[in-house]
Structure 1
Amino acid sequence: MSQPPSNPYPGSYPPPHQQPGGYQPPQQPQYGGGYPPAPQQQPQYGGYPESGQPGQQYGGYPESGQPGQPGQQYGGYVETGQPGYGAPAPLPPKKKSSVGKILLIVLAVVLVLCVGGGVAVWFAAKDEVGEVVQATKTRLVEPTTLAGRPKVSEPDLQTAATQMKSEIAKDVPNATSTVGAFYGDPAKKDLVMIAGASGVIADPQKEMADAVTEITPELGAKEFKTVDAGPLGGDAKCGDGKAQDVPVAVCLWADKGSLGMVVVYFKSAAEIQQEFVTMRGEIEKRD
Structure 2
Amino acid sequence: MSQPPSNPYPGSYPPPQQPGGYPPPQQSGYPVPQQPEGYPVPQQPEGYPAPQQPDGYPAPQQPQYGGYPTSGQPYGGPVTPAGPPPQKKSNVTRILLITLAVVLVLCLGGAAVLFFAAKGKVGEVVDATKTRVVAPATLAGRAKATDPTLQQGAQQLETELKKSLPDATSTVGAFYGEPAKKDLVMIAAASGLNANPGKTLDDTVSGMKSTDVEVGEMKTVDAGPLGGEAKCGDATAAQVPMGVCVWSDRGSIGMILIYFKTGVQAQAELATMRGQIEQKG
Normalising to structure 2: TM-score of the pair? 0.71
Of 210, 213, 216, the residue aligned with 1:219 is: 213
Of 64, 73, 77, the residue aligned with 2:68 is: 77
Distance 1:157 1:165 in 2: 12
8 Å contact from structure 2 (residues 68, 82) kept in 1 = no
Distance 1:102 1:148 in 2: 24
8 Å contact from structure 1 (residues 178, 198) kept in 2 = yes
Distance 2:232 2:45 in 1: 77
Cα 1:65/1:82, change in 2 over 3 Å: farther
Q: For residue 251 of structure 1, what is the aligned residue in structure 2?
A: 245
Distance 2:244 2:132 in 1: 21
Cα 1:66/1:219, change in 2 over 3 Å: same
Deviations 1:123-157 (A, max 9, x none): 345564321x1111110011111111111111111
Report whether the alignment pairs 1:170 with 2:166. Answer: no
Distance 2:129 2:268 in 1: 27
Q: For residue 68 of structure 1, what is the aligned residue in structure 2?
A: 52
Cα 1:177/1:77, change in 2 over 3 Å: same
Q: Which amino acid aligns with 1:284?
A: E
Distance 1:279 1:203 in 2: 23
Cα 1:184/1:206, change in 2 over 3 Å: same
Q: For residue 264 of structure 2, what is the aligned residue in structure 1?
A: 270
Distance 1:191 1:55 in 2: 71
Q: For residue 89 of structure 2, what is the aligned residue in structure 1?
A: 97
Report whether the alignment pairs 1:155 with 2:148. Answer: yes
Q: How does 1:124-143 map to 2 (within 5 A)?
A: 124=118, 128-131=122-125, 133-143=126-136
Q: Which amino acid aligns with 1:236?
A: A
Sequence identity (%):
51
Deviations 1:219-254 (A, max 9, x none): 211211101001111110011011221110000001
Structure 2 segments unaligned to the other structure (5+ residues):
1-41, 59-63, 75-79
Distance 1:126 1:272 in 2: 34
8 Å contact from structure 2 (residues 185, 256) kept in 1 = yes
Q: Secondary structure at the match of 1:120?
A: helix
Deviations 1:59-92 (A, max 9, x none): xxxx875222362445433343279xxxx99876
Deviations 1:98-126 (A, max 9, x none): 1421322221322223443x432313455
Q: For residue 111 of structure 1, what is the aligned residue in structure 2?
A: 105
Of 223, 235, 244, the residue aligned with 1:241 is: 235
Q: For residue 137 of structure 2, what is the aligned residue in structure 1?
A: 144
Q: Which amino acid aligns with 1:76?
A: G
Distance 2:48 2:175 in 1: 63
8 Å contact from structure 1 (residues 179, 194) kept in 2 = yes
Cα 1:69/1:147, change in 2 over 3 Å: same
Distance 2:272 2:231 in 1: 15
- Report the count of equivalent residues: 223
Q: Which amino acid aligns with 1:96?
A: K
Structure 1 segments unaligned to the other structure (5+ residues):
1-51, 57-62
Deviations 1:185-238 (A, max 9, x none): 211111011001101111221111111111124321121110100111111001
8 Å contact from structure 2 (residues 121, 195) kept in 1 = no
Cα 1:126/1:179, change in 2 over 3 Å: closer
Q: C-alpha displacement at 1:269, in angstroms?
A: 0.8
Q: Which amino acid aligns with 1:268?
A: T
Q: Which amino acid aligns with 1:119?
A: A
